[in-house]
Amino acid sequence: MPVDPDNSSAMNDSTGSGEASVSSSGNQTVPQNESGKKKRNLPGMPDPNAEVIALSPKTLLATNRFVCEICSKGFQRDQNLQLHRRGHNLPWKLRQRSSNEVKKRVYVCPEITCVHHDPSRALGDLTGIKKHFCRKHGEKKWRCDKCSKKYAVQSDLKAHSKICGTREYKCDCGTLFSRRDSFITHRAFCDALAQESAKALPEKPPNANEEPNKRVVASSSPPSTPPARSPATESQLPPPPPPALPPPAAPKPLMTPAIPPSTSVMSFVSSVQNPELRENPNPNSAGTATKQVIEETAAVASSSSSCSNVSTTSSSVFGSLFASSTASGSLPSQAPGFPDMFRAMAPELAPPSSTEPISLCLAMSHGSSIFRQAGQERRQYAPAPQPAMSATALLQKAAQMGAAATSSSLLMGFGVMSSNASSSNGQQEWSGRPIDTDAGLGLGLPCDAGSGLKELMLGTPSVFGPKHPTLDLLGLGMAASVGPTPGLSALIMGSNLDMATAGGSFGSGDFSGKDLGRNS
């Protein structure tokens, strides 16, 4: 195989440094789909025939990656290396690049914890992966003089310096923008402009109540003037005024805000300007802002007829399913799973008493305030909040709990029967941390699913073996009997359970037309 300068330097680094984390697919072609199914290039997926290359961290960070095989001189760019090689008077054959070049290459990140470590999330070009690695896992050695922002890649700093402080567009309402198009768009719709053209407004007292539209979030500085929830004002959002009237005549007052521009816009702006920063520059204000937006959203929603008919029933579905460990037990009235939306939906709920991050997962720590600061300084990620148990363990637990379940429907288990809050076992199940509940899954599994699971955990993985009839828990009128659940066992087994092998089952063949949800 002719020497390929590109490949050889990669291989040199890999073998030489000994740090190479060349994945097991290495430099080989990715195997085709084993089931022989017609391959699809899924959106978001790189070319399945591409060669996956994993370079070592050292290689990625090295500045002189291209090495001349003759004199071992290093170069930053391949073109420079090629130019240099000409000077060695190589025989014609060796000067040529290998014809293997035509194969498309994709690069994965060597950092195991990284999103881009997986080949299906590989990046398409070498520069991209190098920059990515440096940015995400490298040290931030470059720092802007003007605003002290730090960057791991020098070109990022250069790009930033170009715009740092240079262009700022300011709307009459006081909001700042770094990009002209967002400035223009905002300006077109901003109250300030409407006011200006109307020229018929009395000076507005510094009362935030009268600006339902303008308020994006409360401002950071004055906690003393929080945007009050003013349902009365909000309810003034009615059908628009007849076209003949100038906009300010609309029930919405359109006056210059007395409070400075909203924090979230500011943070947004600064966030946009700081793509590298994870931490919110104003953590306190963001916290306050979030809370106030929540209240505001509730207020806005309360006046909107389209929101108001969402009953607590649906809150309770998800509330009970996803109750946080701090749930007080009155699940229908608490919906911590999707915090703000539920509060918006059910304005009769009390506003949140805390801004503690609420997650669906009961077992997850609420330490999601682990922002990325620490992680960015070092290669090691600060781990995202993790469930206390692995997926396998959870699956096993599910099997165990299934064995002791009482009878109730799927939906009762999920707590839909809000009227039976006290009697339904389902809701009880969900209110605690899952690893603490021993009383059963509460999912309404009258059949002895547990033993079936265990049996199949040890047994052969027939992924989608003969379909077993299950109890008719959904009231669909199907025959019911006890049976094992091959599917779950397959999951638990699943080391190589990829869609390639299961692909046939998942394909349109067996399953289409059997959608439960097909109503029409």
Residue numbers 93-132 binding another protein by CB under 8 A? 112-121, 123-125, 128, 131-132
Tell me what percent of the chain is helix, strand and coil, each rounded to the nearest 5. Answer: 40, 5, 55
Tell me which residues in 138-167 interact with another protein (CB under 8 A): 156, 159, 163
Q: How far is the CB of 507 from another protein (least distance, A)?
A: 7
Which two tokens mark 448? 């002895």
Segment near another protein (CB under 8 A), from 55-63, 94-102, 137-145, 383-391? 383-391
Q: Which stretch binds another protein (CB under 8 A): 1-9, 32-40, 65-73, 77-85?
A: 32-40
Query: Of 12-20, 87-95, 141-149, 493-501, which segment contacts another protein by CB under 8 A?
Result: 493-501
Closest by alpha carbon to 276, among 373, 370, 162? 373
Q: Print the binding letters for residues 224-263 with another protein: x by CB under 8 A, - otherwise.
A: -------------x-xx--x---x--x-------------
Helix 283-303 × helix 263-273 angle, to 10°: 130
State the CB neighbour count (10 A cutoff) for residue 223.
Answer: 12
Query: Quick one: which of 398, 421, 456, 457 contacts another protein (CB under 8 A)?
Result: 398
Following CA atoms 369, 373, 378, 383 in sequence, which dihedral angle do they give, to the nearest 10 degrees? 20
Instruction: Give the up-direction half-sphere exposure of residue 137: CA atoms within 13 A in the CB hemisphere.
Output: 22
CB of 439 vs another protein, minimal distance in Å: 14
Pairwise CA distance, residues 497 & 492, whole Å: 9
Measured from the CB of residue 142, what is the shortest distance to another protein in angstroms? Answer: 14
Residue 108 identity: V
Q: Which of 53, 208, 217, 259 touches another protein by CB under 8 A? A: 217
Question: Least separation, in Å, of the C-beta of 379 and another protein?
Answer: 12
Indicate whether 496 belongs to the interface with another protein (CB under 8 A): yes
Q: Which residues inside 167-186 make contact with another protein, applying CB under 8 A?
A: 178-179, 181-182, 184-186
432 counts as binding another protein under rule CB under 8 A: no
Residue 518 found at the interface with another protein (CB under 8 A): yes
**Count of other CB atoms within 10 angstroms of residue 250:** 17
Q: What residues contact residue 470 under an 8 Å CB cut-off, 6+ apart?
A: 447, 478, 480, 481, 483, 485
Q: How far is the CB of 279 from another protein (least distance, A)?
A: 7
Q: Give me the least distance between CB of 70 and another protein, in Å please.
A: 34
485 binds another protein per the rule CB under 8 A: yes
Helix (H, G, I), strand (E, B) or coil at 84: helix
Closer to another protein at the Cβ: 81 or 173? Answer: 173
Residues 38-57, mask of contacts with another protein (x by CB under 8 A): -xx-xxxxxxx-x-x-----
Q: Tell me if 133 contacts another protein by CB under 8 A.
A: no
- The interface with another protein within residues 345-374 (CB under 8 A) comprises 345, 355, 357-364, 368, 371
Near another protein by CB under 8 A, which window of 8-16, 93-101, 202-210, 399-407? 399-407
State in angstroms the smallest separation of the CB of 494 from another protein.
4
Instruction: Pick the closer one to another protein by CB: 201 or 307.
Output: 307
Assess 487 for contact with another protein (CB under 8 A).
yes
Q: How many CA atoms lie within 13 A of 77 on its CB side?
A: 3
In Å, what is the CA distance from 494 to each residue of 97, 392, 458? 43, 9, 12
The pairing of beta strand 51-54 with beta strand 105-108: parallel
Q: Which DSSP string corresponds to 388-423?
A: SS-HHHHHHHHHHHHHT-----HHHHTT--GGGTTT
Task: Find the shortest distance in angstroms from Cβ 39 to another protein.
Answer: 5
Each residue 278-317 as x (binds another protein by CB under 8 A) or -, in order, gives: xxx-----xx-xx--x---x--xx--x-xx-xxx-xx--x
User: What residues numbered 313-342 form the site for another protein, per CB under 8 A?
Assistant: 313-314, 317-318, 321-322, 337-338, 340-342
CA distance 425 to 410: 12
The answer to whether 315 touches 348, Cβ cutoff 8 Å, is: no
Which of helix, strand or coil describes residue 238?
coil
Residue partners of 292: CB distance under 8 A and separation at least 6: 217, 218, 226, 227
The nearest distance, CB 465 to another protein, in angstroms, is: 12
- Calculate the dihedral angle through the C-alpha atoms of 412, 416, 418, 422, rounding to the nearest 10 degrees: 30
The candidate with the shortest Cα–Cα distance to 312, out of 416, 413, 229, is 416
> Which of 57/402 has CB closer to another protein?
402
Tokens of 22: 């060349």
CA distance 334 to 350: 9
Binding residue (CB under 8 A) for another protein from 127, 197, 462, 481: 197
> Binding residue for another protein (CB under 8 A) from 27, 98, 213, 325?
213
For tokens 């009231």, name the residue.
Answer: 475
Site for another protein in 259-278 (CB under 8 A): 264-265, 267-268, 271-272, 274-278
